[in-house]
Each structure stands twice: as structure tokens, then as C-alpha cells.
Structure 1
């Protein structure tokens, strides 16, 4: 099929399936957002800025200070002339805070995940992943030369069977899970998985993009909360840190190996040093942010107690609170109804989530207040009942 025809056909199919995605243009972002096509702001319940740091004056000032001191860009990849003093300071701070020998910075969590899997795994190795791992991990696994297996979500028994079935001592084995799953808000049984990895002499890697900053002492994340240390930890800065970028936490030897062989690291321009400078301030704010984490728990309790049971909110210990709707159409309808009432919650549809598991992905931030959460829950109750009534119209009298 000609390329143009293939593109047209794919776009038409995506539209017909109700899965077509479109960007909205923001003119303002905080606890409320304003879109170019709307006259009124909406209270934002779809942000990953969990601690509310993206608009924090101290963080903004730190980035401005970094720009004044270090300029706008890094100038090159880390191995050429792109590794600056703020990069080294941030790596050292992250390693000490999270309890690892080394940290390596990446521009995105996507590239960090792919760099690790592509660099470490070879033909004949086994990569064993939780079925609901992030797309960056799944894609890297499919494209890597390793044999990839997926175990049922958070199913330790299934993982144990896979590990005992693959006992070739000549092959390396790497088990990968997320600490907090981005679409469900639930947590991996990290202590149990870590024990299985130790018993089977498998390496263990955790992507804690949605856990670091939120869970554990001083926000150290899912692994610290679970009392374990994986061989490799991925943290990202686009969620609780309020910025952008990522880091790989690992041993001295693994860090040096990645510097030599990870193509995403070697051939990518380093993040701006001003950004690394600001991220050092973000680390300070995260560590001192117990009040923010406590507020998130309090707001979560208010949301759960105000929503009607039939809404079906999934209870979690994280700021991610899904409402499972099943069909994409129902999720879109509910999202649109809330938008009309001044609340923005994105409808998440396949292929981001499995078929028939479309949902509203509600996220709480420390910039929300109690009244906003109560009003949102009240309006969600009303909108949910409207959607239910539309889906199940009562029989009209004759």
C-alpha cells in the first residue's frame, strides 16, 4: 500500500474508533488551566505536577538564576562539551539522596528507559516485564535482542513461574516493573519482587516516575518505602519535581558502562545546565515537602468520601485516582460534561489502556484546595448520573 494511502487509512480508522487524539493549546497552567478555545479557566485534575512545584516561585527563580549563570543550552552531548558543573552537582545530589553510587541524567524518562534496556541486554538474555509497564519499556523490550516475557500485572506467582522456567545460567535476566503505575495509580509489590530476583540471581529495575517525590521518607519513592534497593532505578522530573528530564540510578560500574555504550546518552545533547541547576532546587523542595505529601493524602480522602460509590473510583494511596468507564465513548462523554462545569479531566482510551478499560484519570496536586476537590466530586457525581441515564434511558409511558 502506498505510504499516503496507509496514513489516510490509519487516521480514518482511528477517527471511526473514537480514539483520535487532539492537542489542546494551553494559555495558562496552574491548579487551573485556560485553553485558547475557552473563555473560562478550568480546574485542572489531569496534571502530573503532583507537588505543585511547576509554579513554585523558588523553582522559577532557580531556573532564571541558572539561565543567567550558564546560558540557555548545554552546547553538546555529555561526552563532548555538554557535561557542566550543575549536571555533576545534580547527579551527586540524586545519588546521595536515593542511596546509589551513581546517577546519570537523561532528557526524558522515555530515553532513559530505552537507553538502559538497549545497552544492557543481548541476544539470549531474558527481559521479564509487568504487563502494564510504560510504553517506553515495552517498546524497548520488543526492539531489543533479548527474549521478552510479560507477567500478569503485579502477579508475583506468575513472575516466580517465569523465573523458575528460565534457568539458563549463561543468560542474563532482568525483571522490570514500575513503582507506581501511571494509569491505575496502584503500587507494585516491590519487596516480593525483589526477593524473587535475589533468589533467582536476576537483576531488578524499577521505573519510579510516579512514585519518587510522592512516597517514602522525604519523597525518596516506592523502593525506599518498600525497604528495598533495585539494581537500577529510574526517576523522572516531569511529575513530582515539576520540571522535565530523568535520571538512571545505579552502581559505579553500570554508570560507566552506560556512558560507554548507551546510544541515547552518547548521541543526545545534554539537558541545559540551567535546568540541572533548577533541578537541584527541586530536589530541596521535594525533600522538604512532607506537608505537600500529607495534603495529597488529605485531598484523596476528601475525594473518596464525597464521591458516590457507584461512580467506581479506584482507591489508591497515590495522587492518581482512576474512574473506570469501560467504553471510550462513555469516558469522553463524562470528560466533556465535567469540562462544561469548569473541571478538566482527560479521558484515557486505548491503546494507552487496554480495550474496554477507558477511564477518567483523576490526578490530585498540592495546589488543589479542599473546596475545589469537594466541588469537583459533587459535579462528577452529577455528570456520572447523567451519563448513566443517557446510556440506560427509562422506558417512556405509552
Structure 2
């Protein structure tokens, strides 16, 4: 494709118009001010429900959550100042991980600032050059980026197709040390739920 105009913003605006701007009467759908929507929703009978955010349990505005956050700011300030590796950890970090480990029923847990960073960073720490990662072809971008961050073999299987997964494992399992199967429990973009896997 040839871009006749050197201005990226002009090109992006043109592509946006061609892709259906006429369907959106009041501007583009990006960077919508959600706090304004939340404020306006107080007058709406049906309220306001965002299907794009991660507050699945509705705890972001729960009184206990906001009170704990305010108390933590009063005690510790607005941040930790450095990574745990460089600056040390807060007692609350270890207490959270101990509680998570007890809840899950394991000997330990590690909390990371976001799910995206978890997948990008941990896959390469779990498997190495003699290992195999088998990933669902529609797995989240963070998983896909994590599979590119290390020196290991990666295979993809057809989305949600456990027979295809089984075929890959039957064909390749013995060639590798450890095998990591990377998928999602609930695919956030499609709403699919991963079926049970027996290996």
C-alpha cells in the first residue's frame, strides 16, 4: 500500500473515516472519558456497565477497597519508589502473597503488577532451550509476546481444539524436556472457555 500523504495523523484519520466513522455520530471511539460516563450514569435507570475494563468483581469502588487504599497512601505514600529487587518490598507485598498461596493451596505465590507483564516475563523463566511451549492460536497478545521472549520451541494449536493439542503433544512431547501449555481459561476477546485438558 502506498501512503500519498506523509502525515501519519492524516492517514489514520482517513482510514478511520473509511472504516465507518459515519456510524459514530459524535466522534471517534478511542479515549472515551469514562469518568464522565460514570458521572452521567447516576441519572440513567439502567446504570452504566463497562465491558472493556478489568473490574470483574466490582471492587474498584467498594468502600473496603477504597478505605484500604487511602490508609495505605497515608502510611506509605503514593508508591514504593523502586522495584522490589532494587528497593526491597513492603510487608504488605509478602502478606498478600502468603494469603494468595494459602487461598490457592500452594507453598508460595508471586504477585506481579499486571497480567500482561506476568505472561510476557514469566514464560521465559519457566521454560528453557530444551523445552516446548504449546499455545492456543488465539491466546492473548501477552501470551504470544511471552512466547517470543525466550529460547525455546513454540507450537500453536487450532483455537480450542484439544484434538489438535493432543496431536502436537503425541508427535512432539518426547523430543523436549518440559512442556508448557499456554491458553486462557476465559478468552477475553471471544468469550470462549477452554475445555478440560488431560495430559
TM range (shorter): 0.7 to 0.9
Instruction: Output the aligned Cα RMSD.
Output: 3.1
Q: 1:45 to 1:26 in 2, by over 3 A?
A: closer
The aligned residue for residue 12 of structure 2 is: 11
Q: CA deviation at 1:133?
A: 1.3
Q: 1:150 to 1:26 in 2, by over 3 A?
A: same
The 8 Å contact of residues 120 and 149 in structure 2, kept in 1 or not, is answered as no
Q: Deviations over 1:177-201 (max 9, x none)?
A: 11111123332123xx1x21xxxxx
The question of 1:165 aligning with 2:166 is answered no
Q: CA deviation at 1:147?
A: 2.5
The aligned residue for residue 107 of structure 1 is: 113
The question of 1:43 aligning with 2:45 is answered no
| 1:181 alignment partner, one of 165, 169, 187 | 187
CA distance in 2 between counterparts of 1:154 and 1:142 reads 21
The question of 1:130 aligning with 2:130 is answered no
- Aligned ranges 1:352-371 → 2 under 5 Å: none
Q: TM-score, with normalisation over the residues of structure 1? A: 0.42
CA distance in 2 between counterparts of 1:11 and 1:155 reads 37
CA distance in 2 between counterparts of 1:105 and 1:93 reads 11
The aligned residue for residue 256 of structure 1 is: none
Q: Deviations over 1:17-57 (max 9, x none)?
A: 4598511112357xxx247xx9x766224244232211111
The aligned residue for residue 62 of structure 1 is: 68
Q: 1:65 to 1:28 in 2, by over 3 A?
A: farther
The question of 1:27 aligning with 2:35 is answered yes
* Unaligned runs of at least 5 residues, structure 1: 197-398
Q: Deviations over 1:185-241 (max 9, x none)?
A: 332123xx1x21xxxxxxxxxxxxxxxxxxxxxxxxxxxxxxxxxxxxxxxxxxxxx
Q: 1:86 to 1:172 in 2, by over 3 A?
A: same
CA distance in 2 between counterparts of 1:176 and 1:9 reads 39
Q: CA deviation at 1:10?
A: 6.7
- Aligned ranges 1:135-284 → 2 under 5 Å: 135-190=141-196, 193=197, 195-196=198-199
The aligned residue for residue 243 of structure 1 is: none
Point out 4+ residue stretches in structure 1 off by more than 4 angstroms.
4-10, 18-21
Q: 1:44 to 1:179 in 2, by over 3 A?
A: same
Q: Deviations over 1:348-380 (max 9, x none)?
A: xxxxxxxxxxxxxxxxxxxxxxxxxxxxxxxxx
CA distance in 2 between counterparts of 1:188 and 1:78 reads 34
CA distance in 1 between counterparts of 2:60 and 2:32 reads 19
Q: 1:148 to 1:6 in 2, by over 3 A?
A: farther
Report the secondary structure of 1:149's partner residue.
strand
Q: CA deviation at 1:168?
A: 3.9
CA distance in 1 between counterparts of 2:140 and 2:29 reads 19
Q: CA deviation at 1:94?
A: 0.4
The aligned residue for residue 281 of structure 1 is: none
* Unaligned runs of at least 5 residues, structure 2: 22-27
Q: Which has the higher contact order (CA 8 A, sep 6+)?
A: 1
CA distance in 2 between counterparts of 1:172 and 1:51 reads 35
CA distance in 1 between counterparts of 2:168 and 2:7 reads 38
Report how many residues are paired: 187
